[in-house]
Amino acid sequence: MVIDRTSPGAPVRVRGLVKRYRDLIAVDRLDLDIDSGEIFALLGPNGAGKTTTTEILEGFRRRDDGEVSVLGEDPQVAGRSWRSRIGIVLQSSNDYAELSVEELTRHFARYYPRARDVDEVIGAVGLESKRRTRVRALSGGQRRRLDVALGIIGTPELLFLDEPTTGFDPQARRSFWELIRRLRDEGTTILLTTHYLDEAEQLADRVGVITAGRLVALDSPERLGGRESRQARVRWRDGEEMTDSPTRLVTELAGRYDGEIPGLQVLRPTLEDIYLSLIGGERDE
């Protein structure tokens, strides 16, 4: 199903956003745009302000200053019709343990004026074989897929994903990534928060890094923080060198070794390297 958009401009537009908790400034004059049909990853260490920012965009928390537009409305005062146009997948959810996958999905479908077909959604998240299984009997990965089913059943124009693959095994994570890409290809705009840097690199069209309540970097994963122009590290059996011209160096080495270069590695800075440099080396917990 392809999303039919009714809101002009960027689905998310933020200008000068401020949120305070007494003497603590959690969000400090933040500006942000998220484009239609993109996967946008918001990264930052714990306490950086990303959760507060996301909750303001979802309409769950009031801001102290600034302008916020989500799907053309202010989430602080938007009504039920606006809420039916967004989908939210929280980090954890344990309700409705005694209902089956199908029962719970049909229950949630009744909340929305433009609900997707229940069978289609169950199939899309890979739970067809579990449709009659009670929620309490699902594995962690299957429960997460059900969370996504409930998040997309209303045909959201904008989907919020909070740490969607926590606890997934590698195979389940990659299957989940394919589902998220399909949603993006159908036209859903997705805001992703994740502690997994490889997940952001695999999924995001753009990445924003927030620390101390401020957006300190914004670009594609490949270009974030000037990543594409950083020096490369060339390693081989007998040495190592940092260079701006790795192709030239490899060509020289090939001539020196008359062909195959033993133990050759050409390494660019990873997204994690760039991320840690932007937040001052502080790791997420």
pLDDT tens-place string over residues 36-48: 999 999 999 988 9
Same-domain check for residues 111 and 246: no
Q: Is residue 283 part of a domain?
A: no
- End residue of a domain, out of 220, 241, 268: 220
Distances (CA, A) of 253 to 63, 128, 206, 229, 242: 58, 55, 36, 22, 14
Same-domain check for residues 180 and 251: no
Q: Does pLDDT of 131 surpass 70?
A: yes
Same-domain check for residues 200 and 250: no
- End residue of a domain, out of 193, 220, 247: 220
Same-domain check for residues 16 and 112: yes
Q: Is residue 29 part of a domain?
A: yes
Average pLDDT over residues 61-88: 95
Q: Is residue 285 part of a domain?
A: no
pLDDT score of 227: 86
pLDDT score of 93: 62
Which residue range(s) make up the domain with 126? 12-220
Q: Is residue 175 part of a domain?
A: yes
pLDDT score of 181: 93
Confidence of residue 3 (pLDDT cuts 50, 70, 90): very low
- End residue of a domain, out of 179, 200, 220: 220
Looking up residue 98, the CATH number of its domain turns out to be: 3.40.50.300
Q: Is residue 24 part of a domain?
A: yes
Same-domain check for residues 202 and 230: no
Q: 83-106: per-residue pLDDT in tens?
A: 999 999 876 666 788 999 999 999
Q: Is residue 284 part of a domain?
A: no
Same-domain check for residues 205 and 237: no
Same-domain check for residues 173 and 155: yes
Same-domain check for residues 203 and 259: no
pLDDT score of 129: 94
pLDDT score of 8: 52
For the entire predicted model, the pTM comes to 0.83
Same-domain check for residues 131 and 205: yes
pLDDT score of 254: 93
* Cα–Cα distance measured from residue 31 to residue 214, given in angstroms and rounded to the nearest whole number: 9
pLDDT score of 92: 62
Q: Is residue 7 part of a domain?
A: no
Q: 143-167: per-residue pLDDT in tens?
A: 888 998 999 999 999 999 988 887 7
Same-domain check for residues 162 and 271: no
Same-domain check for residues 184 and 92: yes
Q: Is residue 6 part of a domain?
A: no
What does the CA dihedral 241, 245, 249, 254 come to, rounded to 10 degrees?
Answer: 130
What does the CA dihedral 42, 219, 201, 66 come to, rounded to 10 degrees?
Answer: 10
Average pLDDT over residues 123-152: 90
Q: 253-265: per-residue pLDDT in tens?
A: 999 998 899 999 9
CB neighbours of 10 closer than 8 A, spacing ≥ 6? 33, 34, 35, 36, 69
State how many domains the chain has: 2
pLDDT above 90 covers a percentage of the chain that reads 67
Same-domain check for residues 151 and 16: yes
